[in-house]
Structure 1
Amino acid sequence: MAHQEREPLLHGERATTEDDEQQPPSSEHSRRFDQLENRLQNGRFTSLEKLLFVVSICLFIVLTVFVGLYARRVYDDRGPSPPLPNPPSHDNETTPLCLTPECVLTAAEVLQDIDLTVDPCDDFYAYSCNNWQQHHTIPEGKASVGSFDSLATANKEVLRGLLSQDFASFYQLVYDETQGNLPDPEKLVDKQNFEMVKNMYDSCMDETAIDDKGAEPLLPLLRDLRDLYYGDGNPISSPNLSKSRLTRAIATLAKNGVKPLFDLFVDSDATHPENNALQVTQAGLTLPSKDYYKNDDIVEAMHDAVAETMDLVFGATKDFGWNKKRANEAATLVVEFEKKLASISDDYEDLMDPVATYNPRTLSQLSKLSPSIDWDLLISYLQPPSSPHQDSIIVTSPTYLANISLELLDKSTPEATLTYLTWRTIRSYVDALGEDLRKPSNKLQSKIQGTNAKVTQPRWETCLAQVDDSVGFLAGRLFVQQKFGGDAKDRADDFIDSIKRVFVERLPDLDWLDDTTREKAVEKVDKLISKIGYPTKTPNTMSPVSLSEYYSGLRVSRDDYFKNYLASRQFDVKKEWQKVGTETDKTQWLMNPQEVNAYYNPTINEIVFPAGILQNPFFSNAYPDYLNYGGIGVVVGHELTHGFDSMGRHYDGNGRLVEWWTNSTSADFDEKATCFVKQYSNFTMDAGNGEKIHVKGKQTLGENLADNGGLGEAYMAWKKRYDSDPQSKKYNNQRLPGLDKLTPNKLFFVNFGRVWCNKMTEERAKQRVLTDEHSPPKWRVNGAVQNSHHFAEVFQCPLGSAMNPKHKCELW
């Protein structure tokens, strides 16, 4: 599957989707400090402002004194701590104190988040996040709020601000005297690119125009679907003719980005990663997973949403012969069809094995396996005429495709199948229609996630998400020009190199890893590609001409959002199918520069860190190293470890799916991995109505291994530098004011914990457990520190305490 070849830090390929992590208010501190810093650097303060600035700094210092007294009082109230098993090599008193404005503000933010009354050895997540949770409420209409998402919202607001002005204002903002200007031809192209992004955003923001059009923009797609399927308007009795028309209908929907029954896509061939190959995996459910179809309450809500939406779409037109009675009948057909589809779908955890899900089949074999669909016709209809003929396809689950024919299509009436395809089309495009048409689906989503259906996310957030989806690299250029510069890329490279070295240096200490496998593991790390900030080819984000060429097949207008929405989907599908039969382009990125996420791609053996995540609280040029390593350093280690987790380990240094482990070492790996499966399967979350739902240890195994490995690697890389530089002369490990009891060693872990502070509805928590390959935030933190000897030493946790159990799971 596509998702198992790309291991994002967060759920899905983008962290900021409406159905996933929700966005809290942005960090006012970040914006205020950025403005302060810019004015300082550019000498734009008046005399009065300079005086006020000095006074402010004095107040900050006074504040830290009180903060320190408070922190000391809380610690003293807790009584004496047990002796430290392995004391740090130098203590907090010898390290210089940082009194810059950002250090003062950062110290205050740390104290505002953590709860010093909690014993970190009992519950480190509570220690790191209790006060944060008290100060944050889930916004109305949202399912969660998290410190992780604050950065995503801040990034969105950067783009929102840029798109609220014209190109001349943007150009003046970005290209000041220090940067120089673009040559006239490039400036013209840059202006055209800017206007494309702005047109997409502005057309989405024009809700009045969208509402006035109602369902009319969608009707041509639905008429085409009906005519392709039924021809003269009567049900087809001939099986062969039905097969041909069903295939053409599915192909037409696929060209428009609709994925009923299955998802056809193009990606690197796992056994020949230098080439792209056609692949197919399951798809087509309305509800988040097959588990939800066993919940009568949710299924009833889905029925109502389908009926209401279809009635709104077809009720205003006469050529579909619609009436109120048909709405209920159609919804019943859709629900029953999807129940059957859910019953034959694989569980998520069964799709986590890259070997079991790699099943090449010729089109002839596929036609015998799933005869209800003309696979040769389907492929020929979708691929460009100039592409070489494709005779094979990689199948994630042959059993699923077989049951599509035997258990679903062969046992469903033509009317039921068409009604399902019609609903999938409406579902895929309803977000581009007016508010009234969106309400039923929003109500269903609110039911699933436990939110207030009467409150929706701000329109500007919705429209920026669409900008990301349709012209993400163009928007990425705007973001990078505004927010990513200085030596951020060089410093990130430095973090990556230090963590890679630690990973390799530790390999000889792993007695379960034999020499042959260890040698190939070192080779894989040596061949690891790292990408930071933004793509420099296909397209080059910093080149207006390259971006223009990349999006040359897309046309965006200012006054027709639905047309833009449809065009962007067709553009994406066409661009993907142009890769059929071509060599893999290793320069391509699978995320936009502005995204707050990261990923590992095993078929290229690469780790990728967009500019969007290289910001506070993960990374800051003014941060001490222990905060940066506890933030972005753990992210780097996480993605590196994905190359050696339960899935990534099956790919060699060239990205080839091949068995490069010896049998004995492979068996030892599986035994150690089983420990993590059992450990995380014992963790639970509240799922509502007093129900406790267990984390799926097998489903989350790869991410749990990456979390544990990443934490250990980042800590060892930082500690090595810290111990070599007691006076913080080479590396910045200066102390934060007012945090005398929180040594740099402790603050490394504190920043790791703070990154995952989160609140979500019980319904959302349940959805995440059922559908996400990541553990819930609480267990991403506590699970990792439970297994960390370093954590137990730093926080003096007694053996047998909750965060220092006698038996730890260990791998990398």
Structure 2
Amino acid sequence: MDSREMLPEKTSLLDDEEKNASRPRCRRPSHSVRAAALLFGALLLILTLSRLSLSNIPLPSCLKGHHKKPHHGPADICLTPACIHASSEILYNLSPDYQRIDPCTDFEELVCGGWRDRHDLRPDQGDAFTGTMMAESSEMLLRHILEAPYPDTSEHSSSSPSQLDTDSGSVDHDNFDKLKAAYDACLDEDTIKKIGITPLMEILNETSSRFSIARQSNSAKNEALSDTILYLAKLGVSSLVSSGTGADDKDPDTVIVSVSAPYRIGLPAKEHYEDEKIVKRYEEVVSQVFSALKLGTTHGSVTAHSLVEFEKKLAAASPDAEDRDDVTKYYNPMSLTDADSLVPQLNLSNILKNLVPSGYNLDRVIVMAPEYLKDLAKLLDETSEDTLRSYFLWKAIQSYAGYIEADAVTPYRQFSNELQGKDPDSKPERWRTCVGHVDDGLGWLLSRFFVEKAFSAKAKDFGDQIVSDIKDQFIKKLKSTEWMEPEVVDLAIRKVHNIVQKIGYPDKSPNIMDPETLFKYYERVNINSSAFFENAVSMTQLEVAREWAALGKPVDRDQWDMTVPTVNAYYNPPGNEIVFPAGIMQFPVFDVNVPDYVSYGAFGSVSGHELSHAFDSTGRHYDQNGNYTDWWTNKTVSNFKEHAECFIEQYSNFTVDGADNKPLHVNGRLTLGENIADAGGVAAAFAAWKKRAAETPNQHLPGLDFFSQEQLFFVSYANWWCGKTRKETAIQRIFTDPHAPKWARILGTMANSRDFKESFHCKAKEPVCELW
């Protein structure tokens, strides 16, 4: 967990765990024209037979009004391999009984019933969905890149915006060698096991020595606290407090320092500390790991119970999940002196001044959780030095245990799996771990090679078109919005015009098209093909140093916060920007070669989702320039809150099975912004597609004449969210994830879509909740 975790500004489509599991997918070209023709003929025959057999199934009387069967001539049907591929994907995911299911009451089962039947979770997976499949396909592509020799000229994609230099002495080649060395070091499990706990023990010994029990006075204890927190912060480990840099919400061109409670104290959610079974098991794990590492004999006495009790108090003091990213609550600018006074034992000024660049005058910080810091001050006075030392050691273990292979840390890995309902001894295949490791630490280098293989200039242009169309339609919706007063509508339209759209990959900061720029970007990262742990430390230290080096400079508005292979997207309020990496612009979410309703239904809704964040419960606080300010009138705010309460109540009625088999309700307040964005995204995307289709009619997909094109738009939207989740993972996400469960994102969003209800001829056309 690095120090940047506490910065809340960007709102992404998926949560952090899903992002880690969601790397992109690209479609492989057919190996030969003959093979393509054979596949085409076989699929067409299967789909035709399927269509003929299903067309004779009588509909129940309750469904007869939902579907008006269109009549298509042969010229109206798209029979290209890409269209047949898209049709087969949809048919594969549909429930076998899709013609008998009422879409107005159970659209998720209709679209995704087949997906669940045909996909099992691996023992190492807490959940999976269509995005996971996209990610795993792309992971395989990245694996092939990393395990193959440097690409030669014949392997280059002619449509790629990136063209690699084939010279063996080129900078591109040097960058590739760095990627390979990092990947190979991660794959070398024999060496990692042989080294064992040694590199981790070096960090633990240094941590312990900085918090020496020999220091008896209060001033010495405070100095030790400060020194230890600083040491761990430079390693990307958050302990007691999180600190980092980012755009000042009220001055978004200026970089500011923020201080907060760590997002994660020890257990994944603060609610876990209220579960006696989990706490007892957690204590056992802490005790086992400390005993195996012999920390109790060389570093003073260790009591797992006292450590976990301390964490429990920290968790109770930390902000609730629905409050920690609320700018109206976390934006508390203070002088450094005032911040110091909240928790004098830590000497925050000393910690921060050792992180900022030399010569930078730090006199003001954003204290995101002042009450937490006040409570922390009391806790530090009540907590023994042994417990505090154990806490620091445990934070280092939690952060770096994943980079060693040793029996000593096995109990922690098993426990982490158990919390998510996974097989305790399960691990992802090693190559998957290593692809993720390289993407995390050398992501822009890997992005260049990914783009060269999996993205085209044509795809980028189509993505730009969709996002621009969404903007136009959102402006139209703003103009017809009755709950906003006219002066607010005018400012909102200006905000939409000002939104920066970043599509595919960055060409600045860094420019991944320029190998020399990339070489310099990672020049300070030391990579050794037989030193996995040290590589990980070097990667982390570069990111920490780069973050703090931003102070004293204007905010870098060209920077991206997701690498290109990532299957995700985000909206950044202070930057007023929406960002779509190439990873999410892959089949089946996005395809330039199929009818537009497929891409507008999925990727278009994602685009509208991110744009809608500009006006959700968080984004509404930022004006057209990204300034946190009150630009809405009181009446507009009151009207918004009234509409928002509808979403809160609606989603709070969705439940998952809790640990005690009692219903556990979705947190409607925590998920409010995402639920608003889902509804707004679908509405804007549907309007954008309808306008395009009126100008250039779409062809129909083969084998899917049960659905109209309007209906297939919504099928494509829901298809993106088809998935399954283990019970324990679902519970954990209720506590921590600002997104509703995926099935609820289908059912809730369709219930809020007038266009959906009209397209499927539902009896009730009025949305349950509606903003746009």
What range is the shorter-chain TM-score in?
Answer: over 0.9
Structure 1 residues 442 and 409: alpha-carbon distance in aligned structure 2, compared to 1, 3 A threshold: same
Instruction: Give the equivalent residue in structure 2 for 1:409.
Output: 380
2:755 to 768, 790, 810: 790
1:424 to 372, 392, 395: 395
Distance 1:421 1:178 in 2: 47
Instruction: Please tell me whether the aligned partners of residues 9 and 325 of structure 2 are also in contact (alpha carbons under 8 angstroms).
Output: no
Distance 1:512 1:504 in 2: 15
Instruction: Give the equivalent residue in structure 2 for 1:100.
Output: 80
1:57 aligned onto 2:61: no
Distance 2:752 2:508 in 1: 41
TM-aligned CA deviation for residue 103 of structure 1: 1.4
Instruction: Give the equivalent residue in structure 2 for 1:331.
Output: 304
1:397-796 aligned at under 5 Å gives the runs: 397-406=369-378, 408-725=379-696, 728=697, 733-796=698-761
Structure 1 letter corresponding to 2:369 = S
Greater shift after overlay, 370-379 or 65-74? 65-74
TM-score normalized with structure 2 length: 0.95
Instruction: Give the equivalent residue in structure 2 for 1:363.
Output: 336
TM-aligned CA deviation for residue 256 of structure 1: 0.9
Instruction: Give the equivalent residue in structure 2 for 1:193.
Output: 175
Instruction: Please tell me whether the aligned partners of residues 638 and 710 of structure 1 are also in contact (alpha carbons under 8 angstroms).
Output: yes
TM-aligned CA deviation for residue 182 of structure 1: 5.6
TM-aligned CA deviation for residue 78 of structure 1: 2.8
Distance 2:400 2:145 in 1: 27
Alignment partner of 2:12: what SS?
coil
1:109 aligned onto 2:89: yes
1:810 aligned onto 2:770: yes
Instruction: Give the equivalent residue in structure 1 for 2:15.
Output: 11
Instruction: Give the equivalent residue in structure 2 for 1:254.
Output: 233
* CA distances 1:415-449 after superposition (whole Å, capped 9, x unpaired): 11111001101111111111424421221112211
Alignment partner of 1:277: what SS?
strand
1:288 to 268, 277, 288: 268
Distance 1:188 1:464 in 2: 23
Instruction: Please tell me whether the aligned partners of residues 152 and 166 of structure 2 are also in contact (alpha carbons under 8 angstroms).
Output: no
TM-aligned CA deviation for residue 689 of structure 1: 4.4
Distance 2:534 2:585 in 1: 35
Distance 2:113 2:157 in 1: 43
1:173 to 145, 155, 175: 155
Instruction: Give the equivalent residue in structure 1 for 2:324.
Output: 351
Instruction: Please tell me whether the aligned partners of residues 557 and 575 of structure 2 are also in contact (alpha carbons under 8 angstroms).
Output: yes
Greater shift after overlay, 257-266 or 605-614? 257-266
1:238 to 217, 225, 232: 217
Instruction: Please tell me whether the aligned partners of residues 71 and 739 of structure 1 are also in contact (alpha carbons under 8 angstroms).
Output: no
1:375 to 334, 337, 348: 348
Instruction: Please tell me whether the aligned partners of residues 156 and 163 of structure 2 are also in contact (alpha carbons under 8 angstroms).
Output: no
Distance 2:677 2:601 in 1: 15
Distance 1:576 1:469 in 2: 15
Instruction: Give the equivalent residue in structure 2 for 1:394.
Output: 366
Distance 2:688 2:284 in 1: 55
TM-aligned CA deviation for residue 247 of structure 1: 0.3
Greater shift after overlay, 63-72 or 767-776? 63-72
Distance 1:393 1:95 in 2: 65
Alignment partner of 2:90: what SS?
helix
Distance 2:54 2:621 in 1: 48
Distance 2:299 2:475 in 1: 68
TM-aligned CA deviation for residue 170 of structure 1: 5.5
Alignment partner of 2:688: what SS?
helix
TM-aligned CA deviation for residue 579 of structure 1: 0.8
Structure 2 letter corresponding to 1:718 = W
TM-aligned CA deviation for residue 362 of structure 1: 0.9
Distance 2:22 2:412 in 1: 18
Structure 1 letter corresponding to 2:513 = M
Instruction: Give the equivalent residue in structure 2 for 1:263.
Output: 242
Structure 1 residues 177 and 755: alpha-carbon distance in aligned structure 2, compared to 1, 3 A threshold: closer
Aligned identity (percent) is: 34
1:227 to 205, 209, 212: 209
Instruction: Please tell me whether the aligned partners of residues 22 and 142 of structure 1 are also in contact (alpha carbons under 8 angstroms).
Output: no
1:310 to 280, 290, 306: 290
1:158 to 141, 150, 160: 141
Alignment partner of 1:592: what SS?
coil
Distance 2:161 2:767 in 1: 57
Structure 2 letter corresponding to 1:753 = A
Distance 1:180 1:152 in 2: 21
TM-aligned CA deviation for residue 263 of structure 1: 1.1
Structure 1 residues 714 and 496: alpha-carbon distance in aligned structure 2, compared to 1, 3 A threshold: same
Structure 1 residues 177 and 426: alpha-carbon distance in aligned structure 2, compared to 1, 3 A threshold: closer
Structure 1 residues 547 and 181: alpha-carbon distance in aligned structure 2, compared to 1, 3 A threshold: closer
TM-aligned CA deviation for residue 574 of structure 1: 0.7
Structure 2 letter corresponding to 1:651 = Y
TM-aligned CA deviation for residue 77 of structure 1: 3.5
Instruction: Please tell me whether the aligned partners of residues 681 and 694 of structure 1 are also in contact (alpha carbons under 8 angstroms).
Output: yes
Distance 1:166 1:677 in 2: 53
The total of aligned residue pairs comes to 764
Instruction: Please tell me whether the aligned partners of residues 22 and 136 of structure 2 are also in contact (alpha carbons under 8 angstroms).
Output: no
Instruction: Please tell me whether the aligned partners of residues 700 and 772 of structure 1 are also in contact (alpha carbons under 8 angstroms).
Output: yes
Structure 2 letter corresponding to 1:301 = R
Structure 1 residues 84 and 456: alpha-carbon distance in aligned structure 2, compared to 1, 3 A threshold: closer
Structure 1 residues 394 and 698: alpha-carbon distance in aligned structure 2, compared to 1, 3 A threshold: same
Alignment partner of 1:676: what SS?
helix
Structure 1 residues 691 and 178: alpha-carbon distance in aligned structure 2, compared to 1, 3 A threshold: closer
The alignment yields a C-alpha RMSD, in angstroms, of: 2.4
TM-aligned CA deviation for residue 179 of structure 1: 9.1
Distance 2:12 2:476 in 1: 26
Structure 1 letter corresponding to 2:750 = V
Structure 1 letter corresponding to 2:195 = K
Alignment partner of 2:669: what SS?
coil
Alignment partner of 2:729: what SS?
helix
* CA distances 1:658-699 after superposition (whole Å, capped 9, x unpaired): 111111111111111111011111111123442211000000
Alignment partner of 1:393: what SS?
strand
* CA distances 1:73-127 after superposition (whole Å, capped 9, x unpaired): 34x3434745579x99x97669810111221232122112112132111211111
TM-aligned CA deviation for residue 312 of structure 1: 2.4
TM-aligned CA deviation for residue 70 of structure 1: 3.2
Alignment partner of 2:762: what SS?
coil
Distance 1:435 1:180 in 2: 41
Alignment partner of 2:238: what SS?
coil
Structure 1 residues 68 and 182: alpha-carbon distance in aligned structure 2, compared to 1, 3 A threshold: closer
Which ranges of structure 1 fall in alignment gaps of 5 or more residues?
none
Distance 2:73 2:588 in 1: 25
Instruction: Please tell me whether the aligned partners of residues 95 and 735 of structure 1 are also in contact (alpha carbons under 8 angstroms).
Output: no
Instruction: Please tell me whether the aligned partners of residues 527 and 654 of structure 1 are also in contact (alpha carbons under 8 angstroms).
Output: yes
